[in-house]
Amino acid sequence: MSKNTKDIEDMLDYLKLEVMGKSLDKKVRLPEYSSYSPIQLLREIVSDEFEHRHNKDVERSLTLAKLKGSDAQVENLKTGNGRLYHDHSITQLSTLEFINDRQNVAIFGESGVGKTYCSKAFGVEACRNGYRTLFTDFTDLIDNLCVIKREDLKKFQKKLIFYSRIQVLILDDFLINHLDEERSVIVFSLIKKRDELGTTTIITSQYDPSSWNDFMQDNRSYAMADSIRRRLLNKGFTILIEKTD
C-alpha cells in the first residue's frame, strides 16, 4: 500500500470498495502514474470496481436463471456448421429490444437442431443486460404447478403470479407431451397472465403451432390452443432453425 494513498485506500476498504482500493494501489505504482490526469485515474479505478460488481451481478443472475455454466452465446447463432438460421432476425433479436417491446420469441426446428442452445443464448444475453430471466423445461414447470395446485390453491396462485412476472421466461420443449385437462388450463392461465403483464416468453418446439390443440385434452382445447398461439406468436418473432446436411 502506497504511503501517499493509504488513507484513501483505507476509506475505500471501509466503504467496501476493495477493488477500487487495490486498483488505486496498483495504478500509483506504475511508471506512467505521473502522467495520469485526475479524471483518467478516477475513471480507471471506478471502471475496475464497476466491472467487478457487474460480473458478480451477472453470475448471480445466471444462477437464478438456471443458466450458470452455459456456453451458449448469441454470437454463435449464425448459419454454418450444418445449421441454417434467418441471420437477419437473429441480428435483430440480439439487441434484446424485443424484451423492452414486450414481445415473445418462438423457436422451431426438428429434434437436435439446436433450439435449446438458441434459447439459452438469448437467456444468457438477457442476464448480462440485467433482465430477470428463468430457463426451465416446460413439462417440469407445468407438472410442478399442477402438484402445487392440488396441495395448496393459494400457493399455486402465488406461484403463477411469480412465474408470470419474470421478465424473460424460457420454456424449453413447449407442448412436447399430451396434457390432461388440469395441465392444459394451467398452461393457458400462465400464458394469458404473462400476456396481460407484458412479460417476454421464449419457447422452443419441434411441433407446428397448428397441432398444439392435439396436445391439450380439454373440451375447450381448440379455443385455448388458439388463444395460446395468438398470445405467443402474434406478439413477437418466429425463428426456424433448419439442418443443411
Cα separation, 172 vs 196, whole angstroms: 21
Of 117, 75, 103, 95, whose CA–CA distance to 241 is shortest? 117
* Alpha helices in the chain, H assignment, sequence order: 6-14, 18-28, 38-64, 87-93, 97-100, 115-128, 138-151, 153-165, 181-197, 221-233
Residues 69-103 pLDDT 10s: 999 999 999 888 778 888 888 999 999 999 999 99
pLDDT for the residue 55: 86
Residues 94-130 pLDDT 10s: 999 999 999 999 999 998 899 999 999 999 999 999 9
Residue 202's pLDDT band (cuts 50, 70, 90): very high
Q: Indicate the range of 52-61, 92-101, 116-125, 218-227 predicted with least confidence.
A: 218-227
Instruction: For the chain, give the percent of residues with pLDDT over 70.
Output: 96
Going from N- to C-terminal start, the domains of the chain cover: 3-64, 74-243
- Cell output for 121: 443464448
Considering the four listed CATH numbers 3.40.50.300, 3.40.50.1820, 2.60.40.10, 2.70.70.10, the one that applies to the domain covering 74-243 is 3.40.50.300
- With vertex at residue 176, the alpha carbon angle to CA 170 and CA 182, rounded to the nearest 5 degrees, is 90
pLDDT for the residue 221: 55
Edge-to-edge strands, sheet with 104-108: 133-137, 168-172, 200-205, 104-108, 236-240
Cα separations (Å) of 123 from 18, 22, 29, 110, 165?
A: 31, 33, 41, 21, 16
Of 182, 183, 184, 144, whose CA–CA distance to 163 is shortest? 144
Residues 147-179 pLDDT 10s: 999 999 999 999 999 999 999 999 999 999 888
pTM to 2 decimal places: 0.85
Arithmetic mean of pLDDT, 28-56: 88
